[in-house]
Each structure stands twice: as structure tokens, then as C-alpha cells.
Amino acid sequence: METISLGNEEFEGRNNAYLLEGEPVTLVDTGIATDRTREQLRESLADRGYDFSDVERIVLTHWHPDHAGLAGEIQAESGATVHAHAADAPLIEGDPEALSALDERRRSLVEQWGMPPEKREELFDFLDAHDGIAGEPADVTRIEDGTTIDVGGTVLETIHTPGHAAGLCCFELDGGREALVGDAILPVYTPNVGGADVRVDRPLERYLDSLRTLIERDYERVWPGHRDVIEEPTDRAREIASHHRERTERVLGVLEERGPADAWTVSAHLFGELEGIHVVHGPGEAFAHLDHLERAGAVERDGGEYVLVDAPDLDSLIPPA
């Protein structure tokens, strides 16, 4: 397996695509649909003796443009099959109803979260300006948890790990010792939960469940969607779970000190002023924690504001990993 490092100035920094050179020639993730990334991917493949036309299969960890953006273009050039989880497939295919539902859901939530009108305008201007990074639609072969994909004797086993995205999947390989994990865990950032994919119900709960799945599998190392290989992935997954426990404590602290607050206000206390895609990521993450607290009975929602009603047992709410 070869790691191909790709630029990404729009989101969280350097992306990774992974080339498996068996039969069929397979790419896991493709990078974002920008001229710079397209050229980088072409050059990296050429250095290894391939062109877009030689790629026979594409496996996508999830629908976000920095992972799936070039899939449709490569498929059009090579006839490659594109595999993605059924929950994300309609967005990768550019299905108008799925895209419209995503937009409507996002617009409804940011208003519910208390995002000021000028920030909503800024967010949707940003999204409109970057509409092209999603690239050409692709025809998707749907996969589910447990689906296996054979690449010249290397078997990828699909592990559905929702939270950051509804259809995010990891792909176990090398007899279960390693995995390609997309944005399930990252070496530097903590994957955004709540704003990155507003379709996810109970986003923090789903993500914590996914972290537990990775901890239980106890991989020797994993290959993430951004930056460098993670050599101690179980420790990293535990660290991220602990981070969310600490963030929950901070959210509770905001409500204790300030009183009732909406997700936008809590986000401002957590993250300060936000720009670009983080205008939705910040309050989305605040919402994910508030939603988790509400379902546990620790807070109640009054309109768009959350009111602290009972100090939760954090060990039961977010058990130590």
C-alpha cells in the first residue's frame, strides 16, 4: 500500500489517498476536486506508473469533498467502480433530493442553534463559493458494515463508524492488525461531530460508540484521512474520548456560569470567533454535547436555549475509555 499526500487548503490540512496495487488497482479516497489536488494526484500516480485511466476501483471512507471529490472524475475516465456506505452514497451520486434535504436540514439547524443572520449568510456564501470542490457525481456501489472488498489478496473489511459522517467507514486490513480509518480518528485534530454531517442523529453518542469499536479492535496502527500514520491508535481513540468528556464538563460550566444558552452561545465560549466551515463546525459540536446532555436528563431545552437541571454522572454519560 502506498500513501499519497494531497494538499487541502479548504479544510483540515493535508489529505491522504491510499493506493493498493493489486488486482484491481484501487484507491482509497481521492482528495478534493481542485486543480491543485487533481494535479498532485495525477503526478503521484504517474510516479508509480499509473494514470487516472488505470484506476479500477475507488473505495471512499465517507462523502466529504476532501475525501470523495475526485471520485466521479476518475470513474468517468477509467470506468472504476466506486464503493461507499449506503448512508453516504446519495450525496456522492449528487442526488438532488439528498442534496436538498442536507441543505434544508443545515439551514434549519443553524437557525435553531441561534446562529446570527449575518453568520448564516457568511456560512452559506462560503458553501456556495466552494460548491465545485465536491466534483463530478459518481455511480456508487453501496457497502455496509461487514462488507469485504478483495484487492489482489488484500481483503478490506468494512467497519461502519458513524459520527463525523453518517456513512463513515474504516477498512480493516492485514488480518485485523491495521486499518484505514478516514476521519474516525486523526493524529492532530479531533474529528468534528455535529456540524460536519448534520444528518447524524445523536451525533456524540454515535461517535463515542465508534471510538469504542476502534478501542475494542485494538489495531497496531492505522492510516488516517489526514496527516501521518497513527502508531498507537487505541491510545489516540482513548485520548479523543477523554477530550469529549472534558468538553462536556466545559459545556456544563458555561451553563452553570451563564445560565440558559443556545448552541451558538456555548460555541462562542468554547471556540471564540469562527470563520469558514468552522462557522458550522463550532455550534454543531456544541449542539452534539448539549443534545447528549439533554438525552441524559442533565439539561432541558426551552426553545433554542438549554437549561441545566441536574448534574450528570459523567462516568455513565461518557464512560472512561
- d(C-alpha 12, C-alpha 319), whole Å: 28
Residue from 66, 9, 80, 60 nearest 33 by CA: 66
8 Å CB contact between 7 and 36: yes
Name the pLDDT band for 126 (thresholds 50, 70, 90). Answer: very high
Domain 2-94+131-236 has what CATH class?
A: alpha beta
The mean per-residue pLDDT over the stretch 190-209 comes to 97
Q: Residue 1, Cα to own-chain centre: how many angstroms?
A: 22
Percent of the chain with pLDDT strictly greater than 70: 97
pLDDT tens for each residue of 221-250:
999 999 999 999 999 999 999 999 999 999
CA dihedral of 134, 192, 81, 233, whole degrees rounded to 10: 150
Q: What is the pLDDT of residue 146?
A: 96
Model confidence, pTM: 0.95
Its CATH class, for the domain covering 247-317, is mainly alpha
Phi first, then psi: what are they for 3, rounded to 5°? -90, 130
Q: Where are the domains of the chain?
A: 2-94+131-236, 247-317
- Please write the tens of the pLDDT for every residue from 289-302: 999 999 999 999 99
Per the model's pLDDT, the better-predicted residue between 266 and 151 turns out to be 266
Structure confidence at residue 11 (pLDDT) = 56
Reported as a single tens digit per residue, the pLDDT across 2-60 is: 999 997 665 556 899 999 998 899 999 999 999 999 999 999 999 999 999 999 999 99
29 neighbors 17 (Cβ within 8 angstroms):
yes
Exposed/middle/buried for residue 316 (C-beta within 10 Å: 0-12, 13-18, 19+)? exposed
Contact 182, 168 (CB under 8 A): yes
Rounded to whole angstroms, the Cα distance separating 180 from 182 reads 6
Distance of CA 60 to the CA centre of its chain: 12
- What pLDDT does 14 receive? 86
Average pLDDT of the chain to the nearest whole number? 94
Range scoring the smallest mean pLDDT among 61-70, 160-169, 269-278? 269-278
Tell the residue number behind the cell numbers 485485523, with chain if given. Answer: 176
pLDDT in tens, 82-111: 999 999 999 999 999 999 999 999 999 999
For residue 314, pLDDT over 90 is answered with no
Q: Cα Rg for the chain, rounded, in angstroms?
A: 20
Name the phi and psi angles at 139, rounded to 5.
-85, 120
57-59/81-85 β-pairing: parallel
Q: Determine contact, residues 245/239, Cβ cutoff 8 Å.
A: no
pLDDT of residue 319: 66
The arithmetic mean of pLDDT across residues 173-197, rounded, is 94
pLDDT at 145 > cutoff 60: yes
Say yes or no to pLDDT of 279 above 60: yes
Element (H, E) at 120: helix 117-129
